[in-house]
């Protein structure tokens, strides 16, 4: 479920592993990002999002709601100090460790017969899906927690290359219609 949520919401790893149940509003289809969790030298450190724009509410597509609700029912909330109410936690009841998740993720990719995709790329997948669906760079940048679209140009340029071809083809079609008049 972590991978599915990440691919459709474009959260940073530190944001998705810090999610708590009270951050989710399944009825409104939103997830609130106001906390991060990073692992430094084997220790977890709680923090706040990178920038003011990174603290945000992200709307979730409807296709996430049922699997997310099922996940919440299947994995009861932890009641343990800092870890109280985590949405995702490791098999020993602690936060999800990136290297453990990566190992399991790669095993799942191998079992499915698909190319191993770095977990960080799920954020890129989400951004690409959001852009392909909306063609709105500013809205996608806000969804990612970026103050400007500059990062979009640098990181997600492959999406625009396809769009550039689409624009060129649309210009050809428009010119062809004009010449037929």
Q: For 111-158, what is each residue's pLDDT tens digit?
A: 999 999 888 888 888 888 888 788 788 888 888 888 777 766 666 655
Q: Which of 155, 135, 114 is nearest to 3 (CA)?
A: 114
By DSSP bridging, strand 24-25 and strand 43-47 are unpaired
Between the CA of residue 68 and those of 41, 59, 91, what are the distances in Å? 31, 14, 18
What span, in angstroms and rounded, lies between the C-alpha atoms of 41 and 73? 33
Confidence of residue 17 (pLDDT cuts 50, 70, 90): very high
pTM of the model: 0.80
Contact between 20 and 77 (Cβ < 8 Å):
no
Task: Write out pLDDT tens, residues 147-173.
Answer: 777 766 666 655 555 665 666 677 778
Which are the contacts of 19, defined by CB distance < 8 A and separation ≥ 6? 11, 31, 86, 87, 88
What span, in angstroms and rounded, lies between the C-alpha atoms of 45 and 18? 10
Between the CA of residue 77 and those of 4, 86, 105, 146, what are the distances in Å? 19, 7, 23, 31
Interaxial angle between packed helices 137-144 and 121-134, expressed in degrees from 0 to 180 and rounded to the nearest 10: 150
Mean per-residue pLDDT for 61-87?
Answer: 89
- The residue among 17 and 52 whose pLDDT is bigger is 17
Domains detected in the chain = 2-180 (1.10.443.10)
């Amino acid at each position: 479920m972590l991978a599915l949520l990440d691919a459709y919401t474009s959260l940073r790893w530190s944001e998705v592993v810090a999610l708590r149940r009270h951050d989710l509003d399944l009825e409104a289809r939103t997830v609130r990002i106001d906390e991060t969790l990073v692992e430094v030298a084997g220790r977890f450190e709680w923090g706040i999002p990178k920038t003011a724009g990174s603290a945000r509410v992200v709307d979730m597509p409807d296709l996430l709601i049922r699997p997310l609700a099922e996940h919440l029912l299947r994995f009861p909330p932890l009641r343990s100090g800092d870890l109280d109410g985590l949405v995702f936690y490791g098999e020993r009841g602690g936060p999800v460790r990136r290297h453990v998740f990566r190992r399991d993720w790669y095993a799942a990719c191998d079992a499915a017969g698909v190319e191993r995709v770095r977990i960080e790329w799920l954020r890129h997948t989400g951004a690409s899906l959001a852009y392909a669906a909306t063609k709105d760079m500013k809205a996608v940048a806000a969804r990612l927690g970026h103050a400007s679209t500059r990062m979009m140009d640098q990181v997600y340029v492959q999406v625009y290359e396809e769009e550039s071809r689409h624009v060129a083809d649309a210009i050809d079609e428009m010119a062809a219609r004009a010449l037929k008049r």
